[in-house]
Amino acid sequence: MTDFASTRALFHTPEGVIYLDGNSLGPLPLAAKARVADMIEKEWGEHLIRGWNVAGWMHQPRRIGDRIGRLIGAAEGTVVMGDTLSIKVYQALASALDLNPARRVVLSDSGNFPSDLYMAQGLLQSFGRGLELKVVEPEAVEAAIDDSVAVLMLTEVDYRTGRLHDMKALTKKAHAHGALTVWDLAHSAGALPVDLAGADADFAVGCTYKYLNGGPGAPAFIYVAPRHAETARPALSGWMGHAAPFAFDLDYRAGQGIERMRVGTPPVIALAALDAALDAWDGVSMDDVRAASTALCDLFIAEVEARCPELVLATTRDGFARGSQVSFRHPEGYAIMQALIARGVIGDFRAPDNIRFGLTPLYIGEAEVRGAVEILGDIMANRLWDRPEYRRRAAVT
Amino acid sequence: MTDFASTRALFHTPEGVIYLDGNSLGPLPLAAKARVADMIEKEWGEHLIRGWNVAGWMHQPRRIGDRIGRLIGAAEGTVVMGDTLSIKVYQALASALDLNPARRVVLSDSGNFPSDLYMAQGLLQSFGRGLELKVVEPEAVEAAIDDSVAVLMLTEVDYRTGRLHDMKALTKKAHAHGALTVWDLAHSAGALPVDLAGADADFAVGCTYKYLNGGPGAPAFIYVAPRHAETARPALSGWMGHAAPFAFDLDYRAGQGIERMRVGTPPVIALAALDAALDAWDGVSMDDVRAASTALCDLFIAEVEARCPELVLATTRDGFARGSQVSFRHPEGYAIMQALIARGVIGDFRAPDNIRFGLTPLYIGEAEVRGAVEILGDIMANRLWDRPEYRRRAAVT
């Protein structure tokens, strides 16, 4: 049984804050500060360029990829770190399209994170050859999978509502129709059990600054199913993905397996922070995380609905059909969230009217849930959100 | 007059090391450690998600881009940070090709950094439509510019020999023939005066872990000439480059000007290190850097040639025609460099036979040059490189 009291002790929470926004940016793992300082002072400062060899910088993307692989049902050597999630989406989609050259349609849904759709739009326009993006409602995805689809590209957990796609069933249907799949695990990795191998996913990508707590702008990951690893063509063919980067050949030759999904020089400082953050997952069972997270979300829904009838639940009540977050809708969602943040309850707002709360047992417990709802209840009951300073929109929310 | 004694004091050099590899990875700026620690502890730890607003994370890529812009002759608002250099090459090349749709040829040279060529190869294969990469010898570039060329894509300073292209003349000829230019400033930014605006360059890209000392894997930059900034199509169309990232529209609309070259979430921790590193450039004149660097390189060449007749100079003697590095060739270059490193003189080796030394007055002086050559002279005179442990190749060099 995972000891969540121990994992909570690994994170820093500011005084007076209830942090329910780890689905946007995870809190600081206490180990990260020392690890990064050490990396900077001892590795960069003392080893200098030798760090690539003696400090293992060159192998970090694979080593850390394997640590994440364990959390998402990926075999060793199938996950590699680097770039941002948007770039990894581009890579995965390009490779998947190449592996299905007779088809033209990329199928996605309106619950996908917009950046994924944007990257696909840019890619399809660049690649030309009649490729098109078809975006349907999340509920219509299954029915839309047909023999025209080249690639099914979905985010498993909807960033607004928390709705969870059935990765295994949709992948199975996609394969039955000759389509490949690209799964974005941004709100899945570290949030719930993912079984990429069991679901037979073709490609998967994800970020590490949400439930994996790697820090703002932490590097992304990409997974390639072993059956594609030696045939996938890297559209972003950088030297770190070359079969022999330090031979400095003039022609690209794809590296072995997942190595080819590396592009440029790895972000060593950021990877040090992420590596420290991943220590928190040692000995953690994703099934335990899931059970505890479901209970926290159930409690949060029940408490909010009891106190705040004006808020409309945007997340399913079915714990098996959602991620590790709960969203409510309200026309004044933006101002409500600002009022909450002013009182130390940090969630976030997603246009047009969603207030979003991430609840993960790694560092959140019942006390935080009850405390947050008490403040939310007060804000709603007394219309404390109705102030000019809460309605004024900041650049980022 | 730039006070290089003051700038030297801003960097850490390990005991017993003469560091002549800042052209591969710059040394640790003392300010970086505290700046990153502060960012992690106070900004991430205390502000959490609010850091995007209150700590200015969202604007870092532009703010830091402007700091670099000053060093490369780019106007404010024309440079933005993010991703790796390889990704930025892809972006710049894709945009340049799009702006010249009637043409098919990307012209580059064999002195370009291989990753740039690899990225171009991947891009051209993906984009199809008859695009082709033509790679000529560096000396043949000028003659190869004709009316078939869509984009001239070059690295200004050859990573092996230090040979410097004439950016202004080549850009002028390219424009006269209706071609656009993409300049890679990897070995230029912080090494010598660059005048992107004066040279009328169309696009430029560069990394920040070499002469700009941003740390291993530090983020890259991209420059877009103001005349293209509102028309360039971002092929890597991520949400941070969207006109309204937090509207979460389903369709991409390119952001204003250089903003559209942003892709995913910015690497905040790495940018903090880079920001601290850039402090060293406050009050530094690039003309002073150039004069001092030329003198150091001249001295190094003269001393090495006086003591090591077996080494063949691979860099031009003409200080105006090279970057801030000196390379020598020797069939046993690899072993020689290992022997040097074992004695504390750190340069690097570039296949097939180049030993490479970066010399920048920011933290290197005459004493280091003389000290390094003394050790090199001893190694050559006494064949100290001829040991099995120096001939055994490590993964990265």
Phi and psi at residue B223, in whole multiples of 5°?
-115, 135
Which residues are registered as beta bridge partners of A254?
Answer: A242
Residue A1, pLDDT score: 87
pLDDT given at position A394: 65
Using the beta-carbon criterion (under 8 Å), do A121 and B252 form an inter-chain contact?
Answer: yes
Q: Which residues of A are catalytic?
A: 113, 184, 209-210, 356
The number of beta carbons lying within 10 Å of the beta carbon of residue B41 is 15
Instruction: Establish if A237 touches chain B: CB-CB under 8 angstroms.
Output: yes
Q: Can you tell me the distance from the alpha carbon of B183 to that of B185, in angstroms, rounded to the nearest whole number?
A: 6
**Residue A56 contacts B where some CB pair is shorter than 8 Å:** no
Record the pTM.
0.97
DSSP letters spanning A181-250: EEEE-TTTTTTS---HHHHT-SEEEE-SSSTT---TT---EEEE-HHHHTT---SS--GGGBSSGGG--S
ipTM for this prediction: 0.97
Q: Does B341 touch chain A (CB under 8 A)?
A: yes
pLDDT tens for each residue of B181-190: 999 999 999 9
Instruction: Say how far apart CA A13 and CA A279 lie, in whole Å.
Output: 18
**Hey, is the C-beta of A61 within 8 angstroms of any chain B C-beta?**
no
> Collapsing DSSP states into helix, strand and coil, what is residue A393?
coil
Is the CB of A264 less than 8 angstroms away from the CB of B129?
no
- Residues on chain A touching B93 (C-beta within 8 angstroms): none
CA distance B272 to chain A (A): 10
Contact status of B334 with chain A (Cβ, < 8 Å) = no
Query: Which pLDDT score, from 0 to 100, does residue B340 have?
Result: 98
Burial A115-138 (b: 16+ CB within 10 A, else e): bbbbbbbbbbebbeeebebebbeb
Of A48, A58, A350, the CB nearest to B395: A58
Asked if A259 is an interface residue toward chain B (Cβ–Cβ < 8 A), one would say no
- Give the chain B residue nearest A247 (alpha carbons): B351
CB atoms within 10 A of CB B200: 16
Of A219, A279, A235, A210, give the one whose Cα is nearest residue A79.
Answer: A219
Q: Do A32 and B40 touch (CB under 8 A)?
A: yes
Choose from A12, A44, A184, A350 for mutation: most chain B CBs within 10 A: A44
A367 CB within 8 Å of a chain B CB: no
CA–CA distance from B208 to each of A292, B24, B28, B213, B310 (Å)?
Answer: 44, 10, 13, 6, 34
Q: State whether residue A337 sits within 8 Å of chain B by CB.
A: no
Query: How does pLDDT run across B124-139, given as a tens digit for each residue?
Result: 999 999 999 999 999 9
List CB contacts (< 8 A) between B27 and chain A. Answer: 45, 48
**Residue numbers in chain A where pLDDT is lower than 50:** 397
CB contact under 8 A, B25 and A48: yes
Residue A219 preceded by cis peptide, ω within 30: no
pLDDT at B376 over 80: yes
Residue at A389: amino acid letter: E
B21/A94 touch (CB, cutoff 8 Å), yes or no: no
Quote the CA–CA distance of B293 and B118 in Å, as a whole number.
31
Pick from B216, B240, B251: CB nearest A44: B216
Closest Cα to residue A191, out of A153, A155, A151, A218? Answer: A155
Kindly determine whether residue A119 and residue B87, on different chains, have CB atoms separated by under 8 Å: no
Structure tokens at A231: 């045939």
User: Per-residue b/e over A293-308, b at no fewer than 16 CB within 10 Å?
Assistant: bbebbebbbebbeeeb
List of chain A residues whose C-beta atoms are within 8 Å of the C-beta of residue B252: 117-118, 121-122
Catalytic residue among B113, B211, B300, B328: B113
| Distance from C-alpha of A176 to C-alpha of A325, rounded to nearest angstrom | 32
CA dihedral B92, B98, B99, B102 (to 10 degrees): 140
Question: Are the Cβ atoms of B216 and A269 closer than 8 angstroms?
Answer: yes
Residue of chain B with shortest Cα separation from A128: B127
What is chain B's percent helix, strand, coil content, to nearest 5? 45, 15, 40
Please tell me whether residue B376 adopts helix, strand or coil conformation: helix
Could you tell me which residues are beta bridge partners of residue A136? A109
Amino acid identity of residue A245, one-letter, is: P
CATH number of A32-281: 3.40.640.10
Burial (CB count <10 Å: 0-12, 13-18, 19+), residue A57: buried
Which of B87, B113, B268 shows the shortest C-beta gap to A263? Answer: B87
**Strand, helix or coil at B72?**
coil
Locate tokens 């990394």: which residue?
A: B207
pLDDT at residue B395 is higher than 70: no
Nearest to A118 among B50, B83, B252 (CB): B252
pLDDT of residue A397: 45
Buried b (16+ CB within 10 A) or exposed e, B101-138: eebbbbbbbebbbbbbbbbbbbbbebbeeebebebbeb
> What residues of chain B lie within 8 A of the CB of A251, using their CB?
117-118, 121
The percent of residues above 70 in pLDDT, for chain A, comes to 99
Distance between CA B14 and CA B3 in Å, rounded?
22
Peptide bond into B267 cis (omega under 30): no
| Per-residue pLDDT at B392 | 86
The pLDDT of residue B298 is above 90: yes
Task: Delimit the domains of chain A by residue range.
Answer: 32-281, 285-391
CA-based nearest residue to A151, from A169, A186, A114, A177:
A177
| Cβ of residue A264 closer than 8 Å to a chain B Cβ | yes
| Closest residue to B396, CB basis, from A58, A236, A271 | A58
Token code pair at residue A321? 């059909």
Instruction: Tell me, yes or no, if B92 comes closer than 8 A to chain A by beta carbon.
Output: no
> Chain B contact for A274, CB < 8 A?
no
Residue among A17, A21, A40 whose CB faces B28 most closely: A40
Smallest CA–CA separation between B340 and chain A, in Å? 13
Which of A36, A39, A48 to probe the B interface (max B CBs under 10 A)?
A48
Establish if B104 touches chain A: CB-CB under 8 angstroms: no
Name residue A152's beta-bridge partners.
A107, A181
CB contact under 8 A, A270 and B269: yes
User: Which of A265, A341, A355 best probes binding to B when mutated, by most B CB atoms within 10 angstroms?
Assistant: A265
Instruction: Name the closest residue on chain B to residue A267, using Cα atoms.
Output: B217
Reported CATH class of domain B4-30+284-391: alpha beta
Mean pLDDT of B267-282: 98
Burial class (CB in 10 A: 0-12, 13-18, 19+), B298: middle
Can you tell me the distance from the alpha carbon of A78 to that of B244, in angstroms, rounded to the nearest whole number? 35
Dump pLDDT digits (tens) for B306-319. 999 999 999 999 99
Q: Name the active-site residue from B116, B184, B275, B348.
A: B184
Q: Is A58's CB within 8 Å of B233's CB? A: no
A97–chain B Cβ distance below 8 A for any pair? no
- What chain B residue is nearest to A26 in terms of C-alpha separation? B48
User: Tokens 């890679």, residue?
Assistant: B184
Buried b (16+ CB within 10 A) or exposed e, B61-72: bbebbbbbbebb
Contact B2, B71 (CB under 8 A): no
Contact B87 A135 (CB under 8 A): no
Nearest CB to A122 within list B237, B247, B395: B237
Q: Please give the Cα distance from A198 to A245 (Å, whole number).
A: 33
Pick the residue of B43, B85, B212, B263 with the most A CBs within 10 A to test the interface with A by mutation.
B263
Concerning whether B356 is annotated as a catalytic residue, the answer is yes
Contact present, B126 and A127 (Cβ < 8 Å): yes
Chain B residues close to A260, C-beta within 8 Å: none
CA distance B36 to B32: 6
A-contacting residues of B 149-168, CB under 8 Å? none
Could you read off the pLDDT of B192-238 as tens digits, one per residue? 999 999 999 999 999 999 999 999 999 999 999 999 999 999 999 99
Residue B64 has phi, psi (to 5 degrees) of -70, -35
Top-level class of domain A285-391: alpha beta
Does position B397 have pLDDT exceeding 80, yes or no?
A: no
Any chain A CB within 8 A of the CB of B85?
yes
